[in-house]
Amino acid sequence: MSKRPSLATSMKALAEDTTPDPVALTPKSTGAPAPGIAKPAATRAGMKRLLTPVAPELHKRLKLLAVKQDTTLEALTRAALESYLSQHDSN
């Protein structure tokens, strides 16, 4: 009766068999952006991102307001920031 292979040996053999060829994974240059890499919208050209964590309830209220006003969270946030700055800016 022959000895069964160890788990380590089996795992090593499996890893060697399933390692993808890195050259095959490299996308060919077609001029189009690679999948998963979003190209910025024309309306966002030259703009900076502002990431702000908010409470889930505030996020929900903002989303509901955006739906009621038939707009986007982005447009709503920009308008709110402009309004706030116009009230507090001395320029």
pLDDT tens, 24-80?
666 666 666 666 666 667 777 888 888 999 999 999 999 999 999 999 999 999 999
Residue 11 or residue 71, greater confidence? 71
Residue 4 or residue 31, greater confidence? 4
The rounded distance, in Å, linking the Cα atoms of 77 and 48 is: 14
pLDDT at 26: 62
Give counts: helices (H), strands (E), the chain: 4, 0
pLDDT at 58: 95
Instruction: Provide the 8-state DSSP code for 19.
Output: P
The rounded distance, in Å, linking the Cα atoms of 91 and 70 is: 32
Name residue 8's amino acid: A
Give the rounded percent of residues in the chain with a pLDDT score beyond 90.
41
